[in-house]
Amino acid sequence: MGVESRSRRVRTGVVLFCSLFAFLVAPLLLVLTHGHTWARHPAAVEIKVSSLEKHDESLSDRIDALLLHKRNATLFSRALSYQAAIDKGIMLTCLMEEPDITKVQDYLTRNKPGISATSQWNDFGAIAANGWVRDRISAPIFDPDDYVDIFGGDEANNIYIKWDQAQEVVYNGVTYRPSGGEYGNLFNAEGGVIAADFNYSPQNNAPPGTPSNQIVPLRSWSDVVFLTWQQRCSSRSAPVSGLRKIFRVTVSGTDSLNIITQAVAYEGGSMDASWDNKVRMPAGHPSFYAILGTVNGNGLAWMLIQHRAQFGHLTITAVSYFFHEDSKNLYFEIAPYTGPSNPP
Q: Residue ranges per domain, the chain?
A: 1-33
* Helix 59-73 / helix 80-97 crossing angle, nearest 10 deg: 150
Picking from 99, 148, 204, 147, the residue whose alpha carbon sits closest to that of residue 325 is: 147
CA atoms within 13 A on the CB side of 229: 30
Structure confidence at residue 57 (pLDDT): 61
Structure confidence at residue 71 (pLDDT): 53
- State pTM to two decimals: 0.80
- Note down pLDDT in tens along the chain; length 344 residues: 443 444 444 344 434 444 443 444 333 333 333 333 323 333 322 222 333 344 446 787 777 777 765 555 444 344 449 999 999 999 999 999 999 999 999 999 999 999 999 999 999 999 999 999 999 999 999 999 999 999 998 999 999 999 999 999 999 999 999 999 999 999 999 999 999 999 999 999 999 999 999 999 999 999 999 999 999 999 999 999 999 999 999 999 899 999 999 999 999 999 999 999 999 999 999 999 999 999 999 999 999 999 999 999 999 999 999 999 999 999 999 999 998 776 44
* Helix 221-235 / helix 295-306 crossing angle, nearest 10 deg: 60
Please state, in angstroms and rounded to a whole number, the distance separating the CA atoms of residues 320 and 127. 31
